[in-house]
Amino acid sequence: MAPAEDNVVVPHKKLEKLLSMKGGKGEASYVNNSQAQAQHARSMLHLLKDTLDVVQLNSPETPFAVADLGCSCGSNTLFIVDVIIKHMIKRYEALGYDEPPEFSAFFSDLPSNDFNTLFQLLPPYGGSMEECLASDSHRSYFAAGVPGSFYRRLFPARSVDFFYSAFSLHWLSQVPDAVVDNRSAAYNKGRIFIHGANEITADAYRKQFQTDLAGFLRSRSLEMKRGGSMFLACLGKTSLDPTDQGGAGLLFGADFQDAWDDLVREGLITSEKRDKFNIPVYAPSLQDFKEVVEADGSFVINKLEVFKGGSPLVVNHPDDAAEVGRALANSCRSISGVLVDAHLGDHLSEELFSRVQRRATSHAKDILEHLQFFHIIASLSLAI
């Protein structure tokens, strides 16, 4: 007999007020479980720099603005912003300017993001430009936080030179209404993710992704300066099967899904409570992404490709099954833990992730062999 359901069920349209990577600096925090994202971001630096090379340079008297959309709360965003600004300084120097412009970096994420942890990681502003370029002890840019959804406007018109967003655009603004409506053919019964679901369910997710991406592009086209560009990276897939979510499917559709089923089978939650929870993630195909960019028409595609990012897990001892299981559970928890906590409460959330860890430990070798992420990489420049 399942216990009375007195925990909070998160209304899917209130997602914007809740969604965030797990804050703080604990074992399951994003800060301590984003090493794989750091590795993936570093492997894309040559593509990022190619995009930076097509940004139009203005007079050094005009400040240069960079925005990281979906910045989260770890050191990865600080590393990338530092790379961007140092690269642009070198471009100004190559043109013979004695002094580069002043730089501003805007760190943007939903209001629920742990901005406190992020800002604690920021080095102080100051020192000469040479000192800032030579070490990480000081930063050469002014910093500000910008809370809000990147599916809407965030900045004044024509105010940002370069937008960067990595590992964020696969997060939807909401779980599609039909997916959680038990009267709908798209109702995702028995599942907490769309990997392996029916095509009607997958199509509802795909349409939500395309609606969201269209809103993202419209907003950036108004905020970007003439001659500006942006670099985008999000979870993607190589399969054309609409129900196949690639690496995201293996992360959320295997041990994580089975752990939810364990709670139902053990009578800790009802099947209805499980079915009210869905991960608001969609890993698009190249065609999904391209269709939206071309339909919007505000941006020219410099590059659009699928990039193999590798495993989302970083383990020191691959032969240690317990370490692999713990790494997968912590990875799931750092990404989805805030949503799970709100839906199940702290106690049942702990129960859920302990089962994820136990299941992952039992087939650790298979996880390391098959869990691979692919990313959609888009380099876009303003068309008008």
Tens-digit pLDDT profile for residues 178-203 = 998 999 999 999 999 988 889 999 99
Q: Supply the pLDDT for residue 2.
A: 41
Q: Is the pLDDT of residue 33 over 60?
A: no
Q: What is the pTM of this model?
A: 0.87
Helices (H) and strands (E) in the chain, counts: 14, 7
Q: Is the pLDDT of residue 133 over 90?
A: no
Q: Are 194 and 243 in contact (CB under 8 A)?
A: yes
Q: What is the dihedral of CA 371, 43, 55, 286, to 10 degrees?
A: -30
pLDDT-based confidence at residue 167 (cuts at 50, 70, 90): confident
Q: Supply the pLDDT for residue 12.
A: 45
> Looking at domain 12-382, which CATH architecture does it have?
3-Layer(aba) Sandwich (3.40)
Mean pLDDT (the chain, rounded)? 85
Express as a percent the part of the chain with pLDDT over 90. Answer: 53
Express as a percent the part of the chain with pLDDT over 70. Answer: 87
Full strand arrangement of the beta sheet holding 103-109: 141-147, 103-109, 64-69, 160-166, 224-236, 373-382, 299-310
- Sequence-separated contacts (24+) of 91-100 with Cβ below 8 Å: 91/52, 91/53, 91/57, 92/57, 92/60, 95/57, 97/60, 99/60, 99/129, 100/60, 100/64, 100/129
What is the DSSP secondary structure assignment for residue 7, as one 8-state letter?
Answer: S
Q: Are 224 and 160 in contact (CB under 8 A)?
A: yes
Measured at the CA of 282, the angle between CA 281 and CA 285, to 5 degrees, comes to: 155
Q: Is the pLDDT of residue 32 over 70?
A: no
Most confident of 1-10, 110-119, 159-168: 159-168
Alpha-carbon distance 162 to 214, whole Å? 18
pLDDT-based confidence at residue 31 (cuts at 50, 70, 90): low
User: Both ends of the chain: CA-CA distance in Å?
Assistant: 62
Per-residue pLDDT tens over the stretch 341-359:
888 998 999 999 999 999 9
Q: Is the pLDDT of residue 38 over 80?
A: no
Per-residue pLDDT tens over the stretch 285-304:
999 999 999 999 999 999 99
Q: Residue-wise over 169-189: b if at least 16 C-beta within 10 A, else e? A: bbbbbbbbebbbeeeeebbbe
Alpha-carbon distance 162 to 91, whole Å? 14
Q: Supply the pLDDT for residue 17.
A: 58
Any idea which residue has 């590393």 for tokens? 79
pLDDT-based confidence at residue 247 (cuts at 50, 70, 90): confident
Of 102, 101, 106, which is closest to residue 66 (Cα–Cα)?
Answer: 106
Instruction: Write out the DSSP string of 201-231.
Output: HHHHHHHHHHHHHHHHHHHHHHHEEEEEEEE
Of 105, 107, 104, 108, which is closest to residue 152 (Cα–Cα)?
Answer: 108
Q: Supply the pLDDT for residue 216.
A: 97
Strand intervals (E) in 254-345:
299-310
Q: Is the pLDDT of residue 42 over 70?
A: yes
Of residues 252 and 209, more confidence is placed in: 209
Pairing of strands 141-147, 103-109: parallel
Alpha-carbon distance 129 to 292, whole Å? 40
Most confident of 1-5, 9-13, 95-99: 95-99
Q: Residue-wise over 20-55: b if at least 16 C-beta within 10 A, else e? A: bbbbeeeebbbbebbbbbeebbeebeebbeebbeeb
Asked which of 20-34, 84-98, 102-116, 117-131 is least confident by mean pLDDT, the reply is: 20-34
Per-residue pLDDT tens over the stretch 63-112:
999 999 998 877 888 999 999 999 999 999 999 998 899 999 999 998 88
Q: Supply the pLDDT for residue 22.
A: 46
Asked which of 43-57, 86-100, 108-122 is least confident by mean pLDDT, the reply is: 108-122
Alpha-carbon distance 256 to 278, whole Å? 12
State both tokens at 62: 């005009």
Q: Based on C-alpha coordinates, what's the Rg of the chain?
A: 21
